[in-house]
């Protein structure tokens, strides 16, 4: 099977090499498509690669019936409707590291240009003027730089600012005192930054929280003559408030790489001599574009091939060590979910997943996704995957919870899935046995030991002599071979179960004949 990949923004060719040289994928590079053209083309693609020009809307995602992954060759994913991607089971991956240095360097180039009016002086000289009076600047030396957002780029900017002998005060909800000390900067609040900073630079994503974070009230708190930079996202700084603050003389200069609406060729801020600007060039270097395209190409290949990936933005990431431990359990978890849902005859209202033994040492959320995927996809089909499974559970009013138990009975690890319905609770437990792989070891109160095979037959009966023979003969009559058989009972002569792995699926005739056997109370086939 050849995977179809659409690249809808200009992306570095060298970085696309992992895809271009791969026989299992076909890459179509079609930039400048209109919205209508994109909607028309998208249903045939398994993967879409964008930078920031293509807006990936909910309706585009809904039209993309084959789409498995959207790759953003860059950091910000604000041009992609993440909720719609998650609801439709589409993984969104980005390339978080590749353009950090370029954007930090661009920010620094902008700060120096802002301090020394380099673009304005250049323009004046190009216009034939030798004007040395209008462009007196300020030094960065001994000035205070306020950094809002101390992630990858903010941190690199801080390190460069220190080399220029600037003091740094930074705010980030995740910045600890220890990390600030290690970096040789002060951890402050936004108000500390407004009060102290001569230069303020923002390096956050655009979120509900950061949209218009720097507004009229924020400008009012700043030092007179402050200089502002935005090489992150248009909209973090409220543009009208910035315009007014420049006109009032509060802000001495602004350096903008990004705008609320792009392209921004006729923006009122661009007519202000205090403003210097670039057309979203933070990540535009040879190095960054090669790296982000390469990283996202590799991630897309991994996802299409069903291999582990790391930079999904609509799924929590897990470390490679945790993934290595949990990976063998994913299959078991999915099969437990599939078996559990087949044991209940009513709509499930609540699922409880209990982890015991060595599993309790790890973040099992990725495993829970696999259990829930198995459980939901049995009835809902392949529209359920590990990306949208929690969303699907919610939309079907199915609540789920996870518990951790100290005791794994005699096993080193144990996963138990309980499903509540109006008729009661059904429970199934499984483990990974060294040398044997996944095993189902308990159904309700009955201990068994069986591999989660493709065709299983679950029989409930009274514990009477001859039952095994009668079932074996009946199946034999229908030419059904038994691969393995397990029996379990609570007490002699009481309720008992049989779990059989059989070589082919059963049919109504088999059910009918098994139902004629005295003391059999129920027969259920389980498909895995
Ligand atoms: N101009 C350009 O071409 C480029 C722009 N960017 C933009 O730069 C942004 C930052 O990139 P990275 O540093 O790589 O991301 P990052 O994820 O490493 O860092 C973002 C930081 O912002 C912090 N943050 C979130 N909300 C905050 C708030 N309300 N106040 C203060 N801090 C907050 C986060 O805790 C995080 O530490 C990206 O989101 C992207 O939008 C990134 C690359 C290129
Ligand atoms: O693709 C680009 O050049 C924009 C980069 C960017 O803004 C990002 O990575 O967030």
What are the residue numbers of the active site?
233, 262, 280
Ligand 2 centre to CA of 96 (Å) is: 10
Q: Would you state the pLDDT for residue 66? A: 96
Ligand 1 centre to CA of 75 (Å) is: 8
Mean per-residue pLDDT for 154-158? Answer: 98
Ligand 1 centre to CA of 368 (Å) is: 30
CB 92 within 8 A of CB 313: yes
Where do the H-state alpha helices sit in 357-478? Answer: 365-380, 389-395, 467-477
Tell whether ligand 2 has an atom less than 6 A from the beta carbon of residue 438: no
Cα 399 to Cα 394: distance, rounded to the nearest angstrom: 7
Q: Which residues contact 426 (CB under 8 A, 6 or more apart)?
A: 340, 343, 344, 418, 419, 443, 444
pLDDT (tens digit, 9 = 90+) per residue, 246-283? Answer: 999 999 999 999 999 999 999 999 999 999 999 999 99
pLDDT (tens digit, 9 = 90+) per residue, 414-428? Answer: 999 999 998 899 999
User: Tokens 């027969």 map to which residue?
Assistant: 523
| Nearest ligand, CA 106 | 1
Residue having the nearest C-alpha atom to atom 1 of ligand 2: 51
Tell whether ligand 2 has an atom less than 6 A from the beta carbon of residue 51: yes
Tell whether ligand 2 has an atom less than 6 A from the beta carbon of residue 54: no
Cα 141 to Cα 167: distance, rounded to the nearest angstrom: 9
Cβ-count burial of 9 within 10 angstroms (0-12 exposed, 13-18 middle, 19+ buried)? Answer: buried
Ligand 2 centre to CA of 104 (Å) is: 12
State the complex-level ipTM: 0.99
Mean per-residue pLDDT for 170-174? Answer: 92
The phi and psi torsions of 139 (rounded to 5 degrees) equal -85, 155
Tell whether ligand 2 has an atom less than 6 A from the beta carbon of residue 72: no
Q: Would you state the pLDDT for residue 85? A: 95
Checking if the pLDDT of 404 tops 80, the result is: yes
Ligand 2 centre to CA of 74 (Å) is: 5
Confidence of residue 527 (pLDDT cuts 50, 70, 90): confident
Q: Would you state the pLDDT for residue 491? A: 84
Checking if the pLDDT of 93 tops 90, the result is: yes
Q: Can you list the domains of the chain with their CATH numbers? A: 3-98+287-304 (3.40.50.720), 100-277 (3.40.50.720), 315-452 (3.30.1330.90), 455-528 (3.30.70.260)
Residues with CB under 6 A from ligand 1: 74-76, 96, 99-100, 103, 148-154, 171-174, 203-205, 209-210, 231-233, 257-258, 280, 282-283
Residue having the nearest C-alpha atom to atom 3 of ligand 2: 283
């Amino acid at each position: 099977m050849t995977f179809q990949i659409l690249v809808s923004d200009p992306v570095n060719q060298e970085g696309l090499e992992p895809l271009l040289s791969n026989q299992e994928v076909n890459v179509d590079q079609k930039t400048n498509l209109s919205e209508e053209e994109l909607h028309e083309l998208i249903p045939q693609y398994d993967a879409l690669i964008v930078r920031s020009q293509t807006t990936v809307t909910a309706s585009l995602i809904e039209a993309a019936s084959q789409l498995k992954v959207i790759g953003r060759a860059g950091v910000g994913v604000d041009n992609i409707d993440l909720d719609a991607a998650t609801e439709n089971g589409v993984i969104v991956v980005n390339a978080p590291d590749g353009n950090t240095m370029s954007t930090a360097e661009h920010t620094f180039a902008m700060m120096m240009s802002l301090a020394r009016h380099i673009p304005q002086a250049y323009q004046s000289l190009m216009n034939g003027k030798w004007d040395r009076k209008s462009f007196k600047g300020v030094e960065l030396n001994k000035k205070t730089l306020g950094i809002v957002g101390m992630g990858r780029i903010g941190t690199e900017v801080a390190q460069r600012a220190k080399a220029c002998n600037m003091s740094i005060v930074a705010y980030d909800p995740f910045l600890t005192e220890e990390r600030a000390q290690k970096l040789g900067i002060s951890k402050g609040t936004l108000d500390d930054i407004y009060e102290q900073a001569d230069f303020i630079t923002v390096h956050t994503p655009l979120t509900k929280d950061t949209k218009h974070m720097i507004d009229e009230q924020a400008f009012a708190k700043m030092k007179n003559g402050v200089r502002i930079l935005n090489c992150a996202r248009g909209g973090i700084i409220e543009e009208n408030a910035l315009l007014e603050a420049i006109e009032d003389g509060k802000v001495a200069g602004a350096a903008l790489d990004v705008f609320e609406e792009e392209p921004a060729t006729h923006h009122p801020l661009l007519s202000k001599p205090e403003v210097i600007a670039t057309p979203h060039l933070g990540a535009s270097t040879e190095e960054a574009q090669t790296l982000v395209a390469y990283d996202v190409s590799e991630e897309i290949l991994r996802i299409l091939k069903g291999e582990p990936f790391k930079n999904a933005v609509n799924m929590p990431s897990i470390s490679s060590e945790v993934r290595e431990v949990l990976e063998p359990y994913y299959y078991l978890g999915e099969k437990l979910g599939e078996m559990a849902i087949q044991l209940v005859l009513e709509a499930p209202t609540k699922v409880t997943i209990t982890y015991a033994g060595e599993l309790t040492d790890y973040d099992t959320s990725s495993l829970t996704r696999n259990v829930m995927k198995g459980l939901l996809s049995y009835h809902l089909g392949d529209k359920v995957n590990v990306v949208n499974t929690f969303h699907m559970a919610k939309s079907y009013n199915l609540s789920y919870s996870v518990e951790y138990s100290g005791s794994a009975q005699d096993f080193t690890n144990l996963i138990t899935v309980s499903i509540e319905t109006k008729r009661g609770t059904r429970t199934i437990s499984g483990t990974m046995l060294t040398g044997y792989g996944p095993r189902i070891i308990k159904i309700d109160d009955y201990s068994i030991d069986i591999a989660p095979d493709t065709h299983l037959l679950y029989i409930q009966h009274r514990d009477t002599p001859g039952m095994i023979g009668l079932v074996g003969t009946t199946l034999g009559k229908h030419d059904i071979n038994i691969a393995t058989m397990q029996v379990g009972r609570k007490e002699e002569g009481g309720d008992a179960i049989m779990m059989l792995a059989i070589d082919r699926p059963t049919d109504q005739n088999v059910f009918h004949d098994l139902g004629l056997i005295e003391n059999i109370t129920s027969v259920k086939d389980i498909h895995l």
